[in-house]
Structure 1
Amino acid sequence: MEDDKHDKDRRGIQSIEVGGQLLLALAHQGRAMALKDLARAAGMAPAKAHPYLVSFGKLGLIEQDRLSGHYGLGPLALQLGLISLQQADPVRVATPLIADLAQQIGHSVAIAVWGTRGPTVVRLEESPTPVHVNMRHGTVVSVTDTASGRLFAAYLPTDKVRAVLDEERRREAWERERAGAVAPVASALPTWEAFAPQLDEVRAHRMSRSEGAVIEGISAMSAPVFDHTGAMVLAVTAIGPSGTFDTRWEGPIAQALRQCAGAIGRRLGGSA
């Protein structure tokens, strides 16, 4: 009885849903289309599709080219798309998806964004069997040693990343001096010139990984999320014990990460 009431409350207008298939077809194809091709893509006859296109044209959702006669998205559709992109918050969009991902892969999943001090964890979804690592909301992670850090380093403007790395090196030197080091000690952090070539592997796989580099026995893999401008806006990072964490580039964790990052990116208007 309750289910019947719920279905009734959710009942829509069938003609709008049918006509909406034309809009979905245009969005999927990404180009203007002839009537017969558009109708075929939407699964209907041209004679049935035409009245919908006329109405959509009056609203500005569809626009017909005067020369070719092809139908494309109209000014209202473009305006709605731009407003949607302006309202999209990458972290808000990503949060429910990383919860599903953590359940799927059985490992913790974090979202990191680029903050004023570098890669910063803003969400952490614990796995069904949590791994206790020193990570919480607001944690700033290393650019050079972590999977998410190297990911940002590979895709953000060089000057922005280099400034953070230089600051990390200065902070490290200050901490050594504060600890009473009397002789020069080689930095554990690489210079930008030594670090930059390592990023080629990240770009080649469009992912980054870390195997016990930060915390012994803990591994991580990270995938980038790009917005509608092609800019990387956040990193989705899976974290788990090295003994059970598959870091192969084409392993199940890597594939699940790519799918999740791609789904987030598409909701932000990106192409992947």
Structure 2
Amino acid sequence: MPVTDFNIDDESPEASRGVQSVDRAITVLEILARMGSAGVSEIAEEMGVHKSTASRLLASLDQRGMVQQNSERGKYQLGFSILRLANSIPGRLSLVREARPVLEALAEQYKETVNLAVLRSNYAVNVDQAMGPSTLSTHDWIGSLTPLHATSSGKVLLAALTSEQRQRILKETGLPAQTARTITSKQELEKELLEVGSSGYAVVFEEFEIGLSAIAVPVFDHLGTVIGAVSMSGPSFRFKPKEMPGLIEDLKQAGQDISSRMGYSVE
């Protein structure tokens, strides 16, 4: 007796119905995410299906904790299982991995060095770098501990902290002069940090190293917390961020792109 091979036919009626059910369940979740809460009739109308269909979908999702019913009004809202699923995502996201293609694109576009920095032990630590094709862009900043008060990334990270957090850090590190242009006055630094918070970027001109200029923007996580800074740097004689058309906007967009990859939403 011949052996028959059984293959799952993705185009079979059963498979099609299964895919349709999954699609409809996701649609229900999207509706509740958008509306906050909704009744069976509202969901059925939004989806263009019969109330009984919407009711069955909600019942299945309710059993899995994906939605829950508001006992007071009988409307449904997203359940705690959705929150658990969402909270599992950030832990698996790597800032360096998510930022890498954005850094490379910026370095290629502007032919300068682009760095990604995070706050660690009172310093801005460069955790990744994309080198521009220029022969002058040869310094490897990865792993470098740079002072917060004298670098563009550092100022972005400082500006995101509370006044109390900043005071604690600056009390421990002080404001040592790196060059003649380094800001060593707390009052002057606080004034600049307010501007950084307002404008969304920080620029330094030979404050950390003679002959080096840089500009940085923040990177946010899914909670809206600043978790890093993207900076672009180059020789002061040619790299003048505020005079380069489109650079500030492109750098801000890069920061937003990385933030989106980390789960941040501006809405």
Shorter chain as denominator, the TM-score bin is 0.7 to 0.9
Does 2:266 match 1:263?
A: no
The structure whose Rg is larger is 2
* SS of structure 1 residue aligned to 2:127: strand
Give the C-alpha shift of residue 90 in structure 1: 3.1
Aligned partners of 2:251 and 2:112: how far apart in 1?
11
Match of 2:159 in 1: 154
Match of 1:254 in 2: 248
Match of 1:225 in 2: 219
Normalising by structure 1, report the TM-score: 0.72
Change (3 A) 1:100 1:116: same
Runs of 4+ in structure 1 deviating by more than 6 angstroms, as ranges, are none
Q: Where do 1:154-173 residues align within 5 Å?
A: 154-169=159-174
Match of 1:204 in 2: 198
Give the C-alpha shift of residue 196 in structure 1: 1.0
Match of 2:48 in 1: 45
Q: Where do 1:64-75 residues align within 5 Å?
A: 64-75=69-80
Match of 1:238 in 2: 232
Give the C-alpha shift of residue 240 in structure 1: 3.6
Aligned partners of 1:149 and 1:17: how far apart in 2?
46
Match of 1:4 in 2: none
* SS of structure 2 residue aligned to 1:247: helix
Q: Kindly tell me the number of residue pairs found equivalent between the two proteins.
A: 247
Change (3 A) 1:96 1:158: same
* Contact 2:159–2:197 under 8 Å retained in 1: yes
Aligned partners of 2:39 and 2:94: how far apart in 1?
35
Does 2:99 match 1:99?
A: no
Match of 2:87 in 1: 82
Normalising by structure 2, report the TM-score: 0.73
* SS of structure 2 residue aligned to 1:190: coil
Could you tell me which amino acid in structure 2 is paired with residue 201 of structure 1?
E
Match of 1:182 in 2: none
| CA RMSD in angstroms, aligned pairs only | 3.6
Give the C-alpha shift of residue 108 in structure 1: 2.8
* Contact 1:227–1:270 under 8 Å retained in 2: yes
Unaligned runs of 5+ in 1: 1-7, 176-185
Could you tell me which amino acid in structure 1 is paired with residue 229 of structure 2?
A
Match of 1:181 in 2: none
Aligned partners of 2:119 and 2:40: how far apart in 1?
45
* Contact 1:212–1:218 under 8 Å retained in 2: yes
Give the C-alpha shift of residue 91 in structure 1: 3.3
Aligned partners of 2:24 and 2:109: how far apart in 1?
34
* Contact 1:207–1:221 under 8 Å retained in 2: yes
Give the C-alpha shift of residue 244 in structure 1: 5.7
Aligned partners of 2:98 and 2:76: how far apart in 1?
31
* SS of structure 2 residue aligned to 1:141: strand
* SS of structure 1 residue aligned to 2:227: strand
* Contact 2:131–2:138 under 8 Å retained in 1: no
